[in-house]
């Protein structure tokens, strides 16, 4: 279907094209090129961490993180069900068990109280998610992880640039993953990263990312036989991907400012509409609005109404524990009342840098019309 107003659009300019063209025109090092460490340093410096390692997706970054921490069979990892399925699947990738904790309604992040209730002697890690660019209650979650000696991996896939008390979301945990998929704050089409300040973890991750081969020499530029010291994967990004990331990175604050201004406009027009609840920003945080989500009492009918007008919306997220795989194949039966309630009325509206006021007004007026006329 051709949407009059799509859910999202990529935000790019000629600087992105210039960076990618320059990488291509070298005619060499399209893999393992200098653009990759440059992009990684930009991210690490921005995040306030010592290290960054790029991956071909946020999912690969999560997978490699759990492998690097030695998490495996017999271990439990506490995750939300209100998330993209990769957050939970990463535990399955390494043979561990994802344990679903409920969320709370202010940030849609993991509820610290329910995390406490789900900890067992087998728990090894917690993976909280910063939903849609809203920082979760990461300070409380970090305290729980520290008190119980648990690994804290922040899933900041949707929250690049978000802050809590002027600290970047993703800089609180032992490590964090980022995503650069096409609908994220900055994008390389596909791509991801891990940030950390732990050197040992960083070195293990480098081996996992590239077939277990130490990166002492450029594999494609040496005649020496390089050794393989552990099992690893091909989770690398290309030089052109990193070049695009560099171009995107230089616009990140401009993108965030635009998202925040547009979110404030949506909020000002929609917060008084009957039947609609717009989640508030939390004190001492910077929300970056990778998604603009609200709760609608007649969500499913509203989505159909907007679709008829050519306005795309989406449900972020249906609960992971209710997917066919988790419910019918793995046999999960979870009681997550807040997750269930939020998932039943959450709706994400069209939102992207470059969305015009006319487009936003079209969406707003359609929602107002629906709420004023629906029985």
For 245-254, how does the pLDDT look when each residue is reduced to its tens digit (9 = 90+)? 999 999 999 9
Domain-wise residue ranges, the chain: 14-101+111-249, 253-373
pLDDT of residue 7: 98
Question: Average pLDDT over the chain, rounded to whole?
Answer: 97
Q: 35 pLDDT band (50/70/90 cuts)? A: very high
**Residue written as token pair 């859910």:** 7
* Cis peptide upstream of residue 317 (ω within 30 degrees of 0): yes
The CA distances from residue 12 to 173, 186, 196, 248, 274, in Å, are 31, 9, 28, 7, 36
- The 3-state secondary structure of the chain reads CCCCECCCCCCCCHHHHHHHHHHHHCCCCCECCCHHHHHHHHHHHHHCCCEEEEECCHHHHHHHHHHHCCCCCCCEEEEECCCCCHHHHHHHHCCCEEEEECECCCCCCECHHHHHHHCCCCEEEECCECHHHCCCCHHHHHHHHHHHCCEEEEECCCCCCCEECCEECCCCCCEEEEECECCCCCCCECCEEEEECCHHHHHHHHHHHECCCCCCCCHHHCCCCCCCCCCCCECCCEHHHHHHHHHHHCCHHHHHHHHHHHHHHHHHHHCCCCCEECCCCCCCEECCCCCEEEEECCHHHHHHHHHHCCECCECCCCCHHHCHHHHHHCCCCCCCHHHHHHHHHEEEECCCCCCCHHHHHHHHHHHHHHHHHCC
pLDDT at 71 over 80: yes
pLDDT of residue 102: 98
Q: pTM, whole model, 2 decimals?
A: 0.97
Q: Does domain 14-101+111-249 have CATH number 3.40.190.10?
A: no
The CA distances from residue 222 to 31, 33, 214, in Å, are 14, 14, 13
pLDDT of residue 219: 83
Q: Does domain 253-373 have CATH number 3.90.1150.10?
A: yes
pLDDT at 67 over 90: yes
pLDDT digits (tens, 9 = 90+) for 184-200: 999 999 999 999 999 99
Average pLDDT over residues 138-145: 98
Distance of CA 26 to the CA centre of its chain: 32
Of 151-155, 212-216, 219-223, 267-271, which range is least confident? Answer: 219-223
Q: 96 pLDDT band (50/70/90 cuts)? A: very high
pLDDT at 1 over 90: no
pLDDT at 285 over 90: yes
pLDDT of residue 124: 98
Q: 115 pLDDT band (50/70/90 cuts)? A: very high
192 in Cβ contact with 43 (< 8 Å): no
């Amino acid at each position: 279907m051709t949407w009059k107003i799509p859910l999202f659009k990529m935000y790019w300019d000629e600087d992105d094209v210039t960076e990618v063209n320059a990488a291509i025109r070298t005619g060499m090092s399209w893999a393992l090129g200098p653009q990759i460490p440059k992009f990684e340093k930009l991210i690490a410096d921005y995040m306030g961490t010592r290290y960054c390692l790029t991956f071909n997706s946020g999912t690969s970054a999560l997978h490699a993180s759990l492998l690097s921490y030695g998490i495996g069979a017999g271990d439990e990892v506490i995750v939300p069900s209100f998330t993209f399925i990769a957050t939970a699947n990463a535990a399955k990738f390494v043979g561990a068990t994802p344990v679903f904790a409920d969320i709370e309604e202010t940030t849609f992040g993991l509820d610290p109280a329910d995390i406490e209730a789900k900890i067992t002697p087998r728990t090894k890690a917690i993976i909280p998610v910063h939903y849609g660019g809203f920082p979760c209650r990461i300070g409380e979650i970090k305290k729980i992880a520290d008190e119980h000696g648990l690994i804290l991996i922040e899933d900041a896939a949707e929250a690049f640039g978000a802050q809590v008390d002027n600290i970047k979301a993703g800089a609180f945990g032992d490590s964090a993953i980022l995503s650069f998929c096409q609908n994220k704050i900055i994008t390389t089409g596909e791509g991801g990263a891990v940030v950390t300040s732990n050197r040992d973890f960083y070195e293990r991750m480098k081996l996992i990312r590239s077939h277990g081969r130490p990166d002492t020499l450029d594999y494609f530029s040496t005649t020496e036989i390089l050794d393989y010291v552990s099992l690893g994967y091909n989770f690398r990004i290309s030089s052109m991907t990193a070049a695009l990331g560099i171009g995107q990175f230089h616009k990140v604050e401009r993108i965030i400012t635009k998202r925040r201004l547009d979110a404030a406009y949506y909020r000002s027009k929609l917060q008084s509409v009957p039947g609609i609840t717009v989640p508030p920003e939390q004190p001492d945080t910077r929300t970056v609005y990778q998604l603009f989500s609200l709760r609608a009492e007649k969500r499913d009918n509203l989505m159909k109404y907007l679709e008829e007008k050519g306005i795309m919306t989406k449900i972020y997220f249906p609960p992971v524990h209710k997917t066919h795989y988790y419910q019918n194949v793995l046999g999960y039966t979870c009681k997550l009342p807040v997750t269930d309630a939020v998932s039943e009325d959450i709706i994400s509206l069209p939102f992207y840098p470059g969305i015009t006021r006319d487009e936003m007004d079209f969406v707003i007026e359609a929602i107002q019309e629906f709420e004023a006329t629906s029985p």
